[in-house]
Amino acid sequence: MKKTLITTMLSALCLGAAEAAIIWTGAIDSDVTNDGNWDFSGSALTSVAGITNATLADDITFTNAGTAAQIGESGGQPSWGVATGFGITIDNTSVGTAGNDGIRGDSIDIINGGHLSIFFAGLVINVDGASSINLLGGGDPLPGAAVLNLATGAEVTMASRAEYDQQGAQIFVNGTSFSSDNAVLNFTGADAVAVPEPGSMSLLGLAGAILLLRRRK
């Protein structure tokens, strides 16, 4: 019994550590470097000083609170964000940029109607079906090993239609890369919406037909 209790407590502590994050409040203004715009109660840190060069050693979450966040302009086109081993969440809010900077970390989850506008993103990006991302940079908005994972319904905008072809091996819709099947994106100019791949639609249609036949019997 004692061993079980200790194990449970340790698991709870580990879970709490994993969920700890610095939370956006937007209490003062839109400046992501202003510590007054963040809630540090779930973190061991007391400042977001490392956010301007992606050395901030904790997860951060942007929420729909106060003033919407905006990443400022810095000389030299740096990468903002968090250090290796940490992630970013944009939950039901928009995060914009005032310049041509990028964002880094292990991953970024854009969920529940969230939106990110950024020049380039050098990390794993996960966008759910209610959310969107605008990659403003031309040439290489997904540098290095960056990956863009889109759920059905997710919206993405790039600088031009050609950018999708150039970075197609790094863009995925439900696990299928754009380079292997460009039908996974439905285009209006440089704007795209993730759609089910044709094979999935065929299977759904077949399943519907079978269900209809069963009901008739």
Q: Check residue 216 and give its pLDDT.
A: 56
Nearest to 53 by CA among 27, 21, 17, 77: 77
Both tokens assigned to 45: 């840190």
User: Per-residue pLDDT for 17 more than 50?
Assistant: no
Per-residue pLDDT at 18 exceeds 60: no
Q: Rounded to whole angstroms, how far apart are CA atoms 166 and 4?
A: 53
Q: What is the pLDDT of residue 152?
A: 98
Q: Is the pLDDT of residue 208 over 80?
A: no
Q: Could you report the per-residue pLDDT of 103-150, keeping only the tens digit for each?
A: 999 999 999 999 999 999 999 999 999 999 999 999 999 999 999 999
| Predicted confidence band of residue 93 (pLDDT cuts 50, 70, 90) | very high
Alpha carbon 193 to its chain centroid, in Å, reads 15
- At residue 198, the pLDDT reads 60
Residue 214 has a pLDDT of 55
pLDDT tens across 22-72, in order?
A: 999 999 999 999 999 999 999 999 999 999 999 999 999 999 999 999 998
Reading the block at residue 81, the tokens are: 């964000």
Give yes or no for residue 15 having a pLDDT over 60.
no
The kind and range of the H/E element at 150 are strand 147-150
Q: CA quadruple 103, 179, 110, 68: dihedral positive or negative?
A: positive
Q: Is the pLDDT of residue 211 over 80?
A: no
What's the pTM?
Answer: 0.83
The pLDDT of residue 178: 98
Q: What number is the average pLDDT over the span 155-162?
A: 97
Between CA 53 and CA 176 the distance in angstroms is 32
The residues, ordered by sequence, that sit 6+ positions from 156 with a Cβ below 8 Å of its Cβ are 127, 132, 133, 134, 135, 148, 150, 171, 185, 191, 192, 193, 194
| pLDDT at position 197 | 63
Q: Which two tokens stand for residue 126?
A: 């996960």
